[in-house]
Amino acid sequence: FVEDPGPFFYPIAFLLKSTPWLLVGLVLSVYYGVSRQRLAVSSQRLAVSGQQLAVSSQQLAVSSQQLAVSSQQLAVSSQQLAVSDQQSASSEEVSILHSSFFILHSITLWLFALTYLIIMTIASKKSIRYMLPAFPTFYLLTGLAFYQAYLKLRQTKHFNQHVTPSTPKPTTHQTNNPSNQPIPPSPHLPVSSLQSPISLLLLTILLGLTLSLPYHPYYLTYYNPMVLGWRWAPQTLLVGWGEGLDGAARYLNEQPAQTVSAWYEWLFPLLYHGEVQAVVPQENLITADRSVLYINQVQRDIPGPNIIHYFRTRRQPEYTVHLNGIDYAWVYPGPIAGFQPSAPPQVALGGEFSGEARLLGYGLSSSTPASGEPLIVTLQWQVLTPPVTQRFVYVRLVDSQGRLWAGADSPPVMGLWPVERWQPDMFIEDAHELPIPAGTPPGTYRLEVGLYNPDRGETLAASGQPIGQGGGLLLGDVEVKWQPQTEVAIDLPHQTNTALTDRVQLVGYDAPPSTATTGELLPVRFIWRDSSAWFDFGDAPEKSVVFIWSREDVVQAEQIDTLPLPVEQWGRGGVLRSQHDIIVPPDLESGRYDLSIRLHDGQQIVGEPFLLGAVDVETLPHEFDLPSSALQPDDPAHFIVSPEQTIHLAGYNYTRTESTLDLQFYWQTDAPLTHRYKVFAQLLDTTNTVVAQSDSVPAGGQRPTTAWLPDEIITDGHTLSLPPNVAPDQSYRLITGFYDLATGQRLALANETGDALLVSEIDLSQDAE
**DSSP string computed for 92-132:** HHHHHHHHHHHHHHHHHHHHHHHHHHHHHHHSS---GGGGT
Residue 169 has pLDDT above 80, yes or no: no
Residue 524's DSSP bridge partners are: 580
Q: Are strands 290-294 and 260-262 parallel, antiparallel or unpaired?
A: parallel
* Domain 638-763 top-level CATH class: mainly beta
C-beta of residue 447 within 8 angstroms of C-beta of residue 476:
yes
Calpha distance 154→152 (Å, rounded) = 5
In 3D space, the residue among 647, 734, 673, 741 whose CA is nearest the CA of residue 701 turns out to be 741
C-beta of residue 755 within 8 angstroms of C-beta of residue 733:
no
Average confidence (pLDDT) over 413-441:
96
Residue 66 has pLDDT above 50, yes or no: no
Question: What pLDDT, on the 0 to 100 scale, is given for residue 173?
Answer: 46
In 3D space, the residue among 625, 755, 613 whose CA is nearest the CA of residue 677 turns out to be 755
In angstroms, how far apart are the furthest CA atoms of the chain? Answer: 160
Question: What pLDDT, on the 0 to 100 scale, is given for residue 127?
Answer: 86
pLDDT bucket at 198, cuts 50 / 70 / 90:
confident
Average confidence (pLDDT) over 638-645:
92
Residue 163 has pLDDT above 60, yes or no: no
Q: Reduce the secondary structure of 718-755 to three states and give it as a string.
A: EEEECCCCCCCCCEEEEEEEEEECCCCCECEECCCCCC
Calpha distance 599→563 (Å, rounded) = 9
Average confidence (pLDDT) over 616-632:
93
HSE-CB at 482 with a 13 A cutoff on CA atoms is 17
Is residue 585 reached through a cis peptide bond, with omega within 30 degrees of 0 on the bond before it? no
Calpha distance 64→59 (Å, rounded) = 9
Calpha distance 261→280 (Å, rounded) = 9
Number of helices (H), then strands (E), belonging to the chain: the values are 12, 34
Q: pLDDT higher for 634 or 328?
A: 328
**3-state DSSP call for residue 646?**
strand
Question: What pLDDT, on the 0 to 100 scale, is given for residue 461?
Answer: 93
Q: pLDDT (tens digit, 9 = 90+) per residue, 90-144?
A: 444 445 445 666 777 888 899 999 999 999 988 878 888 888 899 999 999 998 8
444 Cβ partners below 8 Å, 6+ apart? 400, 477, 478, 479, 480
Question: What pLDDT, on the 0 to 100 scale, is given for residue 447?
Answer: 96
Average confidence (pLDDT) over 151-167:
60
Calpha distance 502→497 (Å, rounded) = 13
pLDDT bucket at 734, cuts 50 / 70 / 90:
very high
Sign of the alpha-carbon torsion through 692, 697, 702, 705: positive
Calpha distance 228→430 (Å, rounded) = 37
C-beta of residue 327 within 8 angstroms of C-beta of residue 295:
yes
C-beta of residue 287 within 8 angstroms of C-beta of residue 334:
yes
Calpha distance 467→624 (Å, rounded) = 35
Q: Reduce the secondary structure of 291-341 to three states and give it as a string.
A: EEEEHHHHHCCCCCHHHHHHHHHHCCCCEEEEECCEEEEEEEECCCEECCC
pLDDT bucket at 60, cuts 50 / 70 / 90:
very low
Question: What pLDDT, on the 0 to 100 scale, is given for residue 47?
Answer: 47
One-letter amino acid at 272 equals Y
C-beta of residue 369 within 8 angstroms of C-beta of residue 480:
yes
| Core vs surface per residue 287-320: b (16+ CB within 10 A) or e | bbbbbbbbbbbbbeebbeeebbebbeebbebebe
Calpha distance 507→485 (Å, rounded) = 14
HSE-CB at 685 with a 13 A cutoff on CA atoms is 13
pLDDT bucket at 374, cuts 50 / 70 / 90:
very high
Number of Cβ within a 10 Å radius of residue 56: 12
Among the residue ranges 27-41, 177-191, 246-260, 270-284, the one predicted with the least confidence is 177-191
**3-state DSSP call for residue 562?**
strand
Q: pLDDT higher for 153 or 475?
A: 475
Calpha distance 473→463 (Å, rounded) = 7
Question: What pLDDT, on the 0 to 100 scale, is given for residue 58?
Answer: 52
C-beta of residue 685 within 8 angstroms of C-beta of residue 723:
no
HSE-CB at 634 with a 13 A cutoff on CA atoms is 11
| CATH number of 338-480, picked from 3.40.50.10470, 3.40.640.10, 2.60.40.770, 3.10.590.10 | 2.60.40.770
Q: pLDDT (tens digit, 9 = 90+) per residue, 335-351?
A: 999 999 888 999 999 89
Calpha distance 718→666 (Å, rounded) = 11
Q: pLDDT (tens digit, 9 = 90+) per residue, 535-589?
A: 666 666 789 999 999 999 999 999 999 999 999 899 889 999 999 999 999 999 9
Q: pLDDT higher for 49 or 207?
A: 207
DSSP state of 467: B
pLDDT bucket at 172, cuts 50 / 70 / 90:
very low
DSSP state of 631: B
Element (H, E) at 647: strand 645-656
Q: pLDDT (tens digit, 9 = 90+) per residue, 233-287?
A: 999 899 999 999 999 999 999 999 999 999 898 999 999 999 999 999 999 999 9
Is residue 374 reached through a cis peptide bond, with omega within 30 degrees of 0 on the bond before it? no
Backbone dihedral angles phi then psi of residue 443, each to the nearest 5 degrees:
155, -175
**3-state DSSP call for residue 142?**
helix
Question: For the purposes of burial, counting CB atoms within 10 Å of the CB of 239, is it exposed (0-12), middle (13-18) or buried (19 or more)?
Answer: buried
Calpha distance 528→507 (Å, rounded) = 6
In 3D space, the residue among 512, 513, 516 whose CA is nearest the CA of residue 617 turns out to be 516
| First and final C-alpha spacing in the chain | 81
Q: What is the average pLDDT value for the chain, to the nearest integer?
A: 86
Question: What pLDDT, on the 0 to 100 scale, is given for residue 36?
Answer: 61
86 Cβ partners below 8 Å, 6+ apart? 50, 51, 54
Q: pLDDT (tens digit, 9 = 90+) per residue, 671-715?
A: 999 888 999 999 999 888 999 999 999 998 889 998 899 999 999
Number of Cβ within a 10 Å radius of residue 456: 8
Distances (CA, A) of 464 to 349, 472, 549: 8, 11, 43
Average confidence (pLDDT) over 730-756:
88
HSE-CB at 657 with a 13 A cutoff on CA atoms is 8
- Measured in residues, the chain has a length of 769
| CATH number of 494-618, picked from 2.60.40.770, 1.10.3720.10, 1.10.10.10, 3.40.50.2300 | 2.60.40.770
Question: What pLDDT, on the 0 to 100 scale, is given for residue 666?
Answer: 97
Calpha distance 287→266 (Å, rounded) = 20
Backbone dihedral angles phi then psi of residue 496, each to the nearest 5 degrees:
-155, 180
pTM exceeds 0.95, yes or no: no
Calpha distance 146→142 (Å, rounded) = 6
**3-state DSSP call for residue 641?**
strand
One-letter amino acid at 342 equals S
